Amino acid sequence: MASSTGDRSQAVRHGLRAKVLTLDGMNPRVRRVEYAVRGPIVQRALELEQELRQAMGQRPITFLRQVLALCVNPDLLSSPNFPDDAKKRAERILQACGGHSLGAYSVSSGIQLIREDVARYIERRDGGIPADPNNVFLSTGASDAIVTVLKLLVAGEGHTRTGVLIPIPQYPLYSATLAELGAVQVDYYLDEERAWALDVAELHRALGQARDHCRPRALCVINPGNPTGQVQTRECIEAVIRFAFEERLFLLADEVYQDNVYAAGSQFHSFKKVLMEMGPPYAGQQELASFHSTSKGYMGECGFRGGYVEVVNMDAAVQQQMLKLMSVRLCPPVPGQALLDLVVSPPAPTDPSFAQFQAEKQAVLAELAAKAKLTEQVFNEAPGISCNPVQGAMYSFPRVQLPPRAVERAQELGLAPDMFFCLRLLEETGICVVPGSGFGQREGTYHFRMTILPPLEKLRLLLEKLSRFHAKFTLEYS
């Protein structure tokens, strides 16, 4: 200690010195996290996207906000300006809250009544297949629950490190979380030629290669796909479940876009339902976690950070550990829990709010479907751009041809070629799309992700402007 005191006094005399926490000395796993959707380019992009939404004037669903306002300020329960069913719903939620208030912590797994409502929602969705509220855990958006389940799975060192299969292209939460946890990201490629379908042969390939250097323990599936917009067929889901069972992989099903299916012939099948209908040995044994959120669907209430995970066939002791882990963060935001409750148990046909609720919901979904179709059409008319059908979710992920000279120019600038394209697009047109390299893509192919959220006519202009920019860009570098 004496010599260290001497060093210290010297350090103090020296004046300015190195920081304790530096880029070189910080958590190396955090440094490895890359998060394309929220990288520096996207800060500006996000602001632009918000301006878009604002211009769009998409109003929140009235019933949801009425009930939430009543919950936030129960003095309003005596106001004549709210429908009776909204008041009843608010009272029901408040009764289930600590101190009858959204301001109290809930238990860490979420308000019991809401877990029960979620279980009933799952049962209705899955044609009556039972769901146990004790297997439902509310979360801070879906991200929170996804990270929690991944955390449980990570173990081992070196060649025994946990490997997790994720689709490419993927939603970057997965790559970021695996990097932070020190797990091995095992890429399986979705098949762009078949509208981004998941191919079990490709799962086998990815798994076989991964077994050389890690211990694969989990398989993540995003359905409907982000960023691909693909909706999986029932046959595909069955094949994935068989694969996971045979290869002893824990299944994570990211199903946050389950209400967002637009294409004729496409239908959402939950992994839980398919698993249960497959019977033994799958139904009683295959471990599954399914995630949902209040951020997507027709409601799009991202800011409230509501979500849940349902776990199926999870080891009971592990489930206890999961609850312990959740309890460290106390509880998910209670307004988000309340909102989730409304999403999973909307007004019934006999309720005064039913007609308006249905009309608003259908209007949002119908417009999204029209915009999904429009996106595909406009992009596929543009030379050098090809776009798979946006069967579901909220994005298109078109492929763009970039001329070799543009690729060279990007390399000179130290940028991924699609990042270069997106930056130029942003600068020259103000249109913000996210480069495909942030989601992953086959070597030598280039994509971008674009949201279908702007209002129809505005979206048409954006699509056309983008297509024209691409033509100009191609010319410039040819």
DSSP string over 293-331: ESSSTTT--GGG-EEEEEEES--HHHHHHHHHHHHHT--
Q: Which residues pair with 451 in a beta bridge?
A: 395
Categorise residue 290: left if φ over 0, alpha if ψ from -120 to 50, beta otherwise: beta
Give φ, ψ of 447 to 5 degrees.
Answer: -140, 170
Site string for its own copies, 255-294 (x = CB under 8 A): -------------------------xx--xx-x-------
Dist CA 311 CA 326 (whole Å): 14
Q: Shortest distance, CB of residue 447 to its own copies, whole angstroms? A: 21
Among residues 186 and 385, whose Cβ is nearest to its own copies? 186
Among 255, 301, 310, 360, binds its own copies (CB under 8 A): 301
Nearer to its own copies, 31 or 405 (CB): 31
Q: Which is nearer to its own copies, 264 or 317 (CB)?
A: 317
Question: Tokens 């505005």, residue?
Answer: 458
Q: Where are the beta strands (DSSP E) in 169-294?
A: 184-189, 215-222, 250-254, 288-293
Residues 187-216 binding its own copies (CB under 8 A) are 204, 208
Interatomic CA distance for residues 101 and 189, integer angstroms: 47
Nearer to its own copies, 32 or 120 (CB): 32
Nearer to its own copies, 336 or 440 (CB): 336
Residue 152 binds its own copies (CB under 8 A) = yes
Interface stretch with its own copies, choices 117-125, 241-249, 252-260, 368-376 (CB under 8 A): 241-249
Reported in sequence order, the residue ranges of 91-175 that DSSP labels E, i.e. its strands, are 136-140, 162-168
381-440 binders of its own copies (CB under 8 A)? none
Calculate ∠ Cα 84-88-93, nearest 5°: 150
Site for its own copies in 18-77 (CB under 8 A): 19-23, 25-28, 30-31, 33, 35, 37-39, 43, 46-47, 49-50, 53-54, 56, 58, 60, 65-66, 68-69, 72-73, 75-76
173/400 with CB nearer its own copies: 173
Size of the site for its own copies (CB under 8 A): 113
Q: Does 300 bind its own copies (CB under 8 A)?
A: yes
Smallest gap from Cβ 262 to its own copies, in A, equals 22
Helix (H, G, I), strand (E, B) or coil at 351: coil
DSSP 8-class letter at 34: -
Considering only 248, 405, 468, 472, the residue that binds its own copies (CB under 8 A) is 248
Phi, psi of 250 (to 5 degrees): -70, 135
Record the tokens describing residue 303, joined without a space: 């800011």
| Closer CB to its own copies, 125 or 161, in the complex | 161
* Nearest by Cα to 297 from 375, 218, 222, 364: 364
- The C-alpha atoms of residue 9 and residue 461 are separated, in whole angstroms, by 66
**Count of residues in the chain:** 478
Residue 378 is a binding residue for its own copies (CB under 8 A) = no
- Three-class secondary structure assignment of 216-227: EEEEEEECCCCC
Using the rule CB under 8 A, which residue among 336, 346, 347, 398 binds its own copies?
Answer: 336
Provide the minimum distance between the beta carbon of 59 and its own copies in the complex, in angstroms, as a whole number.
9
Question: 59 or 193: whose CB is closer to its own copies?
Answer: 59
Given a contact cutoff of 8 angstroms between Cβ atoms, the answer to whether 159 and 136 are in contact is no
Residue 210 or 385 having the CB closest to its own copies? 210
Q: How far is CA 192 from CA 81, 178, 219, 334, 447, in A?
A: 51, 24, 20, 40, 11
* Residue 22 C-beta: closest distance to its own copies, Å: 5
Binding status of residue 253 toward its own copies by CB under 8 A: no
Q: How far is the CB of 247 from its own copies (least distance, A)?
A: 7
- Candidates 2-10, 220-228, 373-381, 417-425: pick the segment binding its own copies (CB under 8 A): 2-10
Nearest to 326 by CA among 173, 119, 137: 137
Q: Is 92 in the site for its own copies (CB under 8 A)?
A: no
Q: How far is the CB of 8 from its own copies (least distance, A)?
A: 4
